[in-house]
């Protein structure tokens, strides 16, 4: 696989006015989401729910790619059409979550390091055969007393860089996701500092591991105050600080940056993205790779009538995709 092909995929992922839908919840996470709306997390229910999402009419109008979970990339519609074929027909690039989750970092109580490097080369080979053209690996950085430690940031950056290099070796675009969590009562300036040091460490590690940035996508968290911080920030402040932080730490050669929603409301996630895209020249397209902020309204509607009439849920998926697609151009109106 040449760098040109990787770059082409990366650019298609952040095509103007398009973004990514993250539907790669692990079995444990989707069980929690289903339980919240009174649905049992059986394999068939998970399949049916993902079929509803992926068969949304017109999904490809605003969605460039979807991140799947290991179980999902092997599944098909009720009529037997593989999900990857449904996606190809809709112009939606298949992506795959390949990390094995964030585990406690030994020696650093309260901090996490993402696992999943062992055997990754062979798993990537299989995913490529199944049709995946990009992958995702999520690292988690927690803000707290004396946290994050430099060790936690470095261990996660190192793992992200090894993952990214393996992806490119197999012709898969790595989406690198260092998520700085919103949990806690820290202020927005603390989030800025932690995000900046994390991103600088990540891009240092990518450089050391010979990762080609032209064929890489960053999935970033926004610079926001902790959820329990008494002083919350305006949309403009979040947009301005996030953009400043990214400009100070992300090389201009990167084809694009997409954001996670991280527990923000649907409206806030869209408004923040829109505000950033209204803020004048920037070196890369800024778009979305939302999980909850794309799905939460649709999940509630689907749970009410999962037996087949899910037009209302799909209309919500389309509406969220459209709003976020417009926000990726700075053209969304609340
Ligand atoms: P949220 O948008 O719900 O944070 O999920 C995005 C994601 O893929 C996290 O890894």
pLDDT in tens, 250-268: 999 999 999 999 999 999 9
pLDDT number for residue 291: 98
Report the nearest-CA residue for atom 8 of ligand 1.
Answer: 22
Alpha-carbon distance of 234 to 244, in angstroms, equals: 15
* Cis peptide bond upstream of 148, omega within 30: yes
- Is residue 202 assigned to a domain? yes
Q: Are 195 and 180 a contacting pair, CB within 8 Å?
A: yes
Ligand 1 pocket mutation pick from 22, 134, 295, 327 by most atoms within 8 angstroms of CB: 22
Residue 17 DSSP one-character state:
T
Q: pLDDT-derived band of residue 1, with 50, 70 and 90 as boundaries?
A: low
> Which one has a higher pLDDT value, 334 or 262?
262
- Is residue 82 assigned to a domain? yes
Ligand 1 within 6 A of 260 CB?
Answer: yes
Ligand 1 within 6 A of 86 CB?
Answer: no
Alpha-carbon distance of 258 to 14, in angstroms, equals: 8
Ligand 1 within 6 A of 295 CB?
Answer: no
Domain hosting 292: range is 3-329
Ligand 1 pocket mutation pick from 265, 290, 321 by most atoms within 8 angstroms of CB: 290
Alpha-carbon distance of 100 to 52, in angstroms, equals: 26
Q: Are 290 and 269 a contacting pair, CB within 8 Å?
A: yes
Q: pLDDT-derived band of residue 306, with 50, 70 and 90 as boundaries?
A: confident
Alpha-carbon distance of 13 to 257, in angstroms, equals: 10
Give the dihedral of Cα atoms 48, 49, 53, 56; nearest 10 deg.
50
Q: What is the CATH number of the domain that holds 135?
A: 3.20.20.70
Alpha-carbon distance of 1 to 4, in angstroms, equals: 8
Mean pLDDT of the residues in the chain: 97
Ligand 1 within 6 A of 18 CB?
Answer: no
Q: What is the 3-state secondary structure (H, E, C) of 250-277?
A: CCCCCCCEEECCCCCCHHHHHHHHHHHH
Ligand 1 within 6 A of 323 CB?
Answer: no
pLDDT reading at 100 higher than 80: yes
Residue with the two structure tokens 């991103």: 199
**Percent of the chain that is helix, strand, coil (3-state, to 5):** 50, 15, 35
- CA count, 13 A, side-chain hemisphere, 213: 17
Distance 324 CA to ligand 1 centre (A): 14
Which residues are registered as beta bridge partners of 67?
Answer: 22, 95
Q: Using one digit for the tens of pLDDT, what is the confidence trace for 278-289? A: 998 999 999 999
Q: pLDDT-derived band of residue 121, with 50, 70 and 90 as boundaries?
A: very high
C-alpha distances out from residue 12 to 63, 100, 256, 257, Å: 10, 26, 10, 12
Ligand 1 within 6 A of 262 CB?
Answer: yes
Residue 144 DSSP one-character state:
B
Helix (H) or strand (E) holding 219: strand 217-220
pTM: 0.97
- Is residue 100 assigned to a domain? yes
- Is residue 70 assigned to a domain? yes
Atom of ligand 1 nearest to the CA of 261: 2
Atom of ligand 1 nearest to the CA of 259: 2
- Is residue 281 assigned to a domain? yes
Q: Which residues are catalytic?
A: 177, 219
Domain count for the chain: 1
Phi, psi (rounded to 5 degrees) for 306: -80, -5
- Is residue 334 assigned to a domain? no
pLDDT number for residue 38: 95
Q: Using one digit for the tens of pLDDT, what is the confidence trace for 162-192? A: 999 999 999 999 999 999 999 999 999 999 9
Q: Using one digit for the tens of pLDDT, what is the confidence trace for 39-79? A: 999 999 999 999 999 999 999 999 999 999 999 999 999 99
Q: pLDDT-derived band of residue 200, with 50, 70 and 90 as boundaries?
A: very high
Q: Are 62 and 16 a contacting pair, CB within 8 Å?
A: no
Distance 291 CA to ligand 1 centre (A): 4
Q: Using one digit for the tens of pLDDT, what is the confidence trace for 134-153? A: 999 999 999 999 999 999 99
Q: pLDDT-derived band of residue 334, with 50, 70 and 90 as boundaries?
A: confident
- Own/partner pairs, 78-86, CB within 8 angstroms, 24+ separation: 78/48, 78/51, 83/50, 83/51, 83/54, 84/130, 84/131, 86/54, 86/55
- Is residue 248 assigned to a domain? yes
pLDDT reading at 300 higher than 80: yes
Q: Are 91 and 116 a contacting pair, CB within 8 Å?
A: no
């Amino acid at each position: 696989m040449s760098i040109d092909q990787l770059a082409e995929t990366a650019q298609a992922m952040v095509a103007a006015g398009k973004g990514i839908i993250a539907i790669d919840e692990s079995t444990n996470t989707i069980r929690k989401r289903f339980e919240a709306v009174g649905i049992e997390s059986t394999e068939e229910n998970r399949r049916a729910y993902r079929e509803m999402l992926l068969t949304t009419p017109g999904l490809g109008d605003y969605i460039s790619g979807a991140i799947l979970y290991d179980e999902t990339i092997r599944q098909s519609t009720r009529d037997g059409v593989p999900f990857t074929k449904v996606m190809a027909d809709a112009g939606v690039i298949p992506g795959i979550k390949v990390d094995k989750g964030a585990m406690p970092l030994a020696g650093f109580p309260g901090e996490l390091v993402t696992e999943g490097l062992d055997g990754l080369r062979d798993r990537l080979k299989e995913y490529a055969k199944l049709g995946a053209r990009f992958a995702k690996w999520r690292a988690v950085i927690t803000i707290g007393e004396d946290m994050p430690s430099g060790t936690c940031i470095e261990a996660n950056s190192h793992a992200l860089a090894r993952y990214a290099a393996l992806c490119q070796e197999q012709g898969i675009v790595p989406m690198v996701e260092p998520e700085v969590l919103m949990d806690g009562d820290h202020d927005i300036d603390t989030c800025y500092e932690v995000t900046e040091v994390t991103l600088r460490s990540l891009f240092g590690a990518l450089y050391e591991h010979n990762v080609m940035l032209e064929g890489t996508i960053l999935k970033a968290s926004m610079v926001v105050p902790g959820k329990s911080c008494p002083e919350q920030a305006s949309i403009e402040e979040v947009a301005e600080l996030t953009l400043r932080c990214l400009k100070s730490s992300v090389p201009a050669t990167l084809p694009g940056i997409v954001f996670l929603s991280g527990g923000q409301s649907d409206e806030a996630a869209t408004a923040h993205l829109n505000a950033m895209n209204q803020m004048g020249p920037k070196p890369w397209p800024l778009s979305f790779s939302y999980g909850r902020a794309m799905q939460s309204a649709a999940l509630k509607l689907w749970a009410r009538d999962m037996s087949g009439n899910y037009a209302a849920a799909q209309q919500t998926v389309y509406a969220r995709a459209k709003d976020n697609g417009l926000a990726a151009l700075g053209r969304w109106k609340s």
